């Protein structure tokens, strides 16, 4: 398994699957969610609405899949990160579930590569270093996809991931 981080816009990344930090409504929102729906076109939202009508949205920590619409990726996995609320409300376990459930779903769709944004570290206010540790550890515990790319948008996340992945290679 190869793990790396890049800085940039996840909608431009060529991977079999990109992951969206969605919300429970699956109807789109701000941040990376807004960027994915804007770049991916309306079919992604139409598929999200179908899923919502069938199962009533997506719970925190769970993941659903749509096609990639106009994006370079074949599929988009929509997972719902946990809102940081001090840390004693199961936030860490729920964020871990986002990564493990996304990996499982990606494997079921025969993905060889998957790109993750820094789930929960924007509007949901999860501490960035803590979130990155959970992300990298969960990937290490579930080495089922050949290539994992962390796409960091802001400088702080990119710095945190570079440091963490460097340590990971050393260990
Ligand atoms: P959440 O609600 O899960 O916190 P956000 O979209 O607010 O989701 O933020 C999650 C992360 O996505 C943040 O680190 C933010 O900097 C990043 N982000 C925002 N736009 C993009 C983009 N186009 N590509 C990749 N990451 C993005």
In tens, the pLDDT along 72-120 reads 999 999 999 999 999 999 999 999 999 999 999 999 999 999 999 999 9
Give the pTM.
Answer: 0.98
Cα–Cα distances in angstroms (integers) from residue 171 to residues 2, 58, 88, 108, 128, in the given order: 14, 36, 30, 30, 22
Instruction: Give the dihedral sign, CA 132/126/9/14.
Output: positive
Spacing, Cα 60 to ligand 1 middle (Å) = 16
What residues does ligand 1 touch, defined as CB less than 6 Å away? 9-11, 21, 31-33, 35, 81, 117-124, 151, 153-154, 157
Q: What is the ipTM of this complex?
A: 0.99
pLDDT tens digits along 30-41: 999 999 999 999
Spacing, Cα 31 to ligand 1 middle (Å) = 5
Q: How confident is the model at residue 167 (pLDDT cuts 50, 70, 90)?
A: confident
Predicted confidence at residue 111, as pLDDT, reads 98
Instruction: Give the dihedral sign, CA 68/37/125/53.
Output: negative
Outline where 74-127 has alpha helix (H).
Answer: 91-108
Instruction: Give the dihedral sign, CA 138/141/144/147.
Output: positive
Predicted confidence at residue 170, as pLDDT, reads 65
Predicted confidence at residue 168, as pLDDT, reads 76
Ligand 1, closest atom to CA 10?
24
155 is catalytic: no
User: Is the per-residue pLDDT at 171 higher than 80?
Assistant: no
């Amino acid at each position: 398994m190869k793990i790396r981080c890049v800085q940039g816009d996840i909608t431009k990344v060529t991977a079999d699957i990109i992951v969206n930090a969605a919300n429970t409504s699956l109807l789109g929102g701000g941040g990376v969610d807004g960027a994915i729906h804007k770049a991916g076109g309306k079919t992604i939202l139409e598929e999200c609405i179908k899923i919502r009508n069938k199962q009533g949205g997506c719970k925190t920590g769970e993941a659903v899949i749509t096609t990639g619409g106009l994006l370079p990726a074949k599929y988009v996995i929509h997972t719902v990160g946990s809102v940081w609320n001090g840390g004693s409300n199961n936030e860490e376990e729920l964020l871990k579930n986002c990564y493990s459930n996304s990996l499982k779903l990606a494997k079921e769709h025969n993905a060889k590569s998957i790109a993750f944004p820094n789930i929960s570290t924007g509007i949901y206010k999860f501490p960035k270093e803590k979130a990155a540790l959970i992300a990298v550890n969960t990937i290490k515990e579930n080495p089922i996809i050949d290539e994992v790319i962390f796409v960091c948008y802001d400088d702080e996340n990119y710095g945190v991931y570079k440091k963490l992945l460097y340590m990971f290679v050393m260990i």
